[in-house]
Chain A
């Protein structure tokens, strides 16, 4: 007789542990593959899973096997024209009859990469491994309104949908056992009495025997009358709400859109911003992004405008910093928000403006901000802004600046900016 079981609802992630072990073991190779991938990918789909490949020979599991050479006999099907004693050319490359089966072909297939898909989480884990947000503080909101529902044991009251069947039935069994115990004890005593009576030769019809039997039947009915389940037995899964500290971050993206920033550079800047966004997302539940672009005057815009519209004109960086300061002051209280800012520029600035920028940053902005990263996308010599910012860096530790020359630089620079500080 066969027994059918429906296992479809069982967990299907039995292999998760093994998969994790596999990833951990080849972390170095995978990390390399992940950072290659991030440079190769188009900007828009950076936030997904990724195919990565690692060399097959790195992950092979060796076994003893025969190498080529020596003499071997093989039997193959499908003979068309061969006669015994024929001699044929050895086929090339292990194909066909010569090395048709198994082992001999192995050597040739060892060069391919072992390619597979990483989930988004795994991919980002590898990508941002060893990186950390400097000065990470989870600002806690006072009077938080967010709650999380958590299990809180069992209760005697609740909604029917929360009935815990196992617990309830366990209670029912216990109750029936407890309430039935006196009857059962009595039945045992009576049955013994009856047995001794019958053994001593008393007839079935004897009044005493009949009385005993009646009493036993009566007690059995009492036991049977115990309710199988009682409202008293019901147990409900209980849930309770716990207030949850939330952490929120705002990311200010500041970009120079003057004529000298062409689409290529904007794309580089965009990649940098996206990386930063993904990275922040791993640390904070909620992230606001503010886009500020500027030429001689600064504007807060939406994402589309930010990356794709083009303006011409000179460059006054301080206008953007001013606006950033206003935005923070008006909307993002630094007590409850973690504020990050990233600025991308080609380094051009109106000469006498650079010192204003420096003062603005040192005095107004940086005290409010967790981390400020400046990337300069330029193949040329640094101009006044770079040197002014170097002064800022000397004063504030949470100000960082790096230079990007091309797409290949973005991820290394990003890592450089956010690499785990040695304590």
Chain B
């Protein structure tokens, strides 16, 4: 290849060079591989600003809360001591897609980040069904501006302390503030503002109404005793509290709602870690290799990129001191590559396991996988025996009734299906997090709230239970009870405020 096509051999980046790399990558990404992306907004920031971005959970703007300050001092501390490098990039699921580059990085690293974030993550955000369903990329920044202003206003009107306590409790329940099945209405700042005022009045009247009419029902009939409220168990605790907590002021309901919506925004990210990182890693690897094949980058450039890439996808084995679970980058990248391999060079085993994929167009297959799956289903669908052998996977069962652990399956013919099922299950948020639902409110009595924890494999709740019940009590305003339900449907009271 003619060396005069090389964009630059320098390791120092400049804005014109970044632009040229971006153009080259964009050309390969969209023309050759057909990646569909939002427009990119690439922001170059310093490491201090990166720490700032870290501590507001990666969002470019967020309301104030002490926990972000805690995160900030912790990050700053570890970074200063050199215990931890900062991530090379942060990318925000918005339209235009905002990506941060750190000024300290060398040119090859910046190119890698552009490929990874601006074309990898970006196309994932735009394509994956969870993101399409649950987040409105074009409105999130506006919504955060609204949230920040609203909360600042509340702090002025009701005192920082009050707002902070409320946020503490909401944050504790953040993982229980998402709708898992219904699609939320899209956000828009103006709309949100207008509706907020409306909601404030309406909600309060509704709640008052709910409680006001009670004595009447009480007098009428005794037969209503059996009826529970809510009629169906509710899994979105924050939503239930927002709509039904008797004592919350309208502004408090609005704040519950804000936290709930932010939680909802992050929900797809929590469900697609392996896929999202795997996809982005696969594409930075593929795109930059393509540039190399075309002679647009030199050997030195590629060496640096590959060195960093190798670090990212390193998977220590379980007995290594560095082991902390399966590396989502490693697993995701390997699976994406494997899908391509199965399409391009299938073995007999692949033909048996993946008859629909073997020999097909890899781009289409990969695109289909990216669009229609989340980690759990992605692994259940696409993890191949080949990869299980490569990772040398094995499944362990830890049962507290047994003295020893049992190896239930390994990477062999009889174990593949079970291994794959176990690993998929490991990424199922439903089994990773305790399944807790609102079961009943004693509407006619002491207004106490009963939650039920449906135990999965007999696993109990952790020691944070009492603390958590206090938080729920703060939001609900009356007694809160937690009951555990085991496989046989036996109910047992495990906590009470």
B369 to chain A, nearest CB (A): 20
**From B18, B96, B325, residue with most partner A Cβ within 10 Å:** B325
A92 to chain B, nearest CB (A): 13
Residues of chain B contacted by A107 (CB below 8 angstroms): 462-463
B213 to chain A, nearest CB (A): 33
**Which residue of the partner chain A has the closest CB to B482?**
A64
Check if A64 sits within 8 Å of B398, measured CB to CB. no
B204 to chain A, nearest CB (A): 29
Residues of chain A contacted by B160 (CB below 8 angstroms): 21
Check if A72 sits within 8 Å of B459, measured CB to CB. yes
Check if B414 sits within 8 Å of A3, measured CB to CB. no
Check if A75 sits within 8 Å of B395, measured CB to CB. yes
Residues of chain A contacted by B234 (CB below 8 angstroms): none
Q: Does B304 contact A (CB under 8 A)?
A: no
Given A73-B396, A86-B406, A115-B77, A5 and B41 touching (CB < 8 A)? yes
Check if A7 sits within 8 Å of B44, measured CB to CB. yes
Size of the B side of the interface (Cβ < 8 Å), in residues, is 100
Contact with B398, one of A19, A74, A106, A114 (Cβ below 8 angstroms): A74
Check if A15 sits within 8 Å of B172, measured CB to CB. no
Residues of chain A contacted by B436 (CB below 8 angstroms): 64
Q: Does A309 contact B (CB under 8 A)?
A: no
Contact indicator per residue, chain B 453-479, by CB within 8 Å of chain A (1) or not (0) = 001111111111101100100000000
Q: Does A382 contact B (CB under 8 A)?
A: no
Check if A12 sits within 8 Å of B69, measured CB to CB. no
Given A4-B42, A7-B44, A69-B458, A77 and B315 touching (CB < 8 A)? yes
Q: Does A151 contact B (CB under 8 A)?
A: no
Check if B44 sits within 8 Å of A64, measured CB to CB. no
Q: Is the interface of B mostly helix, strand, loop or mixed?
A: mixed
Question: In the complex, what distance in Å separates the CA atom of A90 from the CA atom of B405?
Answer: 6
Q: Does B68 contact A (CB under 8 A)?
A: yes
Contact indicator per residue, chain A 72-90, by CB within 8 Å of chain B (1) or not (0) = 1111111110111111111
Q: Does B48 contact A (CB under 8 A)?
A: yes
Given A1-B39, A73-B425, A84-B409, A15 and B325 touching (CB < 8 A)? no
8 A Cβ contacts from B32-63 to A: 39-46, 48-49, 51-52, 55-56
Contact with A68, one of B45, B392, B400, B464 (Cβ below 8 angstroms): B400
Check if A78 sits within 8 Å of B318, measured CB to CB. yes
Check if A18 sits within 8 Å of B393, measured CB to CB. no
Give the segment of B1-9, B352-360, B415-423 that binds chain A: B415-423
Check if B410 sits within 8 Å of A64, measured CB to CB. no
Given A21-B69, A64-B462, A97-B318, A71 and B51 touching (CB < 8 A)? no
Contact indicator per residue, chain B 1-27, by CB within 8 Å of chain A (1) or not (0) = 000000000000001001100100010
Q: Does B138 contact A (CB under 8 A)?
A: no
Residues of chain B contacted by A79 (CB below 8 angstroms): 318, 392-394, 410-411
Check if B318 sits within 8 Å of A84, measured CB to CB. no
Contact with A65, one of B56, B174, B319, B434 (Cβ below 8 angstroms): B434
A221 to chain B, nearest CB (A): 39
A89 to chain B, nearest CB (A): 6
Question: B-side interface residues toward A, CB under 8 Å?
Answer: 15, 18-19, 22, 26, 39-46, 48-49, 51-52, 55-56, 64-70, 72-74, 76-77, 80, 96, 100, 103, 114, 118, 160, 164, 168, 171-172, 174-176, 315-320, 323-326, 391-401, 403-412, 414-415, 419, 422-423, 425-426, 433-434, 436, 455-465, 467-468, 471
Q: A17-B69, A79-B394, A79-B411 are in contact. List 16 more A-B contacts (CB 8 A).
A: A3-B96, A21-B66, A61-B67, A64-B464, A66-B462, A71-B399, A73-B425, A75-B394, A76-B395, A82-B407, A84-B409, A84-B415, A97-B396, A100-B318, A116-B74, A116-B76
